[in-house]
Structure 1
């Protein structure tokens, strides 16, 4: 019994309307998976691997976005096919997302209750792995 070599579908093999960039344009970013959004950031795969497979391996390595958002440049670059430029692009996108999520808290925020304090700090502390004590300025 002979096995057929597994072929990887490259982006160019997809119908144009099924490609992530084109779907974002026509259907909006909310219609794309995390894998497809990261594929758009990475822009290209390798000679042997599609950008969709590469983005899937990145997400798998970090068990999704939660751990990826804390990954260092060096950790991201350990993924075969992701060099410094692609890793920097991913980190920049994560930082932009972090800054956008904190925009509402940058205005003068009045804390009148423990719940207000928790809401103020929740975005920064939500996924910490150990207890932290924080006193906002």
Structure 2
């Protein structure tokens, strides 16, 4: 049975209109994104297939089109629609958080970054640019790849800081292994950035390493 054949009160679209999106299940929200089913599979069954395929809901944001179309009933169009919806939601969430976020502790920085960085398969080096009130005015990924001193050059970091009139910065990168323990290279890079900031008068407040839903602050550990 297609979703259009269901009684109106049971349709996810009708439930959203009457009760709000917060009241819908994950399956119902996916059904709205997919809109219609296919032959022999209703749209709610398609949504159930997707949820069964992934161990956790947040795993969907890391899925590729190729992985999604392996799921019974999901073709390229539905895979693209789903990934587009997830990316739009991520951008809205990130913008809302970033616009109001003030960094007072390493936990604040980690909370801002954790959802985007904890499940990345490749290392990302990200910089938060702060004003004099320690409010985030900009976030930028400086590079992707293995962290080493030759790649992470302070000029790339502080060029953006000068452009944004940032008073201070916080650096962060992820360890895809899940273990946030700093390497000797992590510490060396941090000291180079810290020294460059001292010369320019733009303080490096911290360097946070993100692991699997955990983090380490190099400042708290005494490495800077």
Structure number with the higher strand fraction is 2
Q: Is the 8 A contact 1:35 1:55 kept in 2?
A: yes
Distance 2:106 2:53 in 1: 37
User: Closer, same or farther in 2 for the Cα pair 1:102/1:65, shift >3 Å?
Assistant: same
What RMSD over aligned residues (CA atoms) do the two structures have, in Å? 2.4
Q: Is the 8 A contact 1:101 1:123 kept in 2?
A: no
Aligned to 1:54: 46
Distance 2:102 2:15 in 1: 41
- Give the number of aligned pairs: 127
Distance 1:119 1:55 in 2: 30
Rg larger for: 2
User: Shift in Å at residue 109 of structure 1?
Assistant: 5.4
Structure 1 moving runs of 4+ over 6 Å: none
Structure 2: where are the runs of 5+ without partners? 121-176, 181-208, 211-216, 218-224
Structure number with the higher helix fraction is 1
Written as runs of structure 1 = structure 2, the 5 A alignment for 1:34-53 is: 34-53=26-45
User: Closer, same or farther in 2 for the Cα pair 1:14/1:123, shift >3 Å?
Assistant: same
Distance 2:76 2:100 in 1: 37
TM-score, normalised relative to structure 1: 0.79
1:75 aligns with 2:123: no
Aligned to 2:117: 125
User: Closer, same or farther in 2 for the Cα pair 1:13/1:64, shift >3 Å?
Assistant: farther
Distance 2:82 2:33 in 1: 7
Range that drifts further, 62-71 or 86-95: 62-71
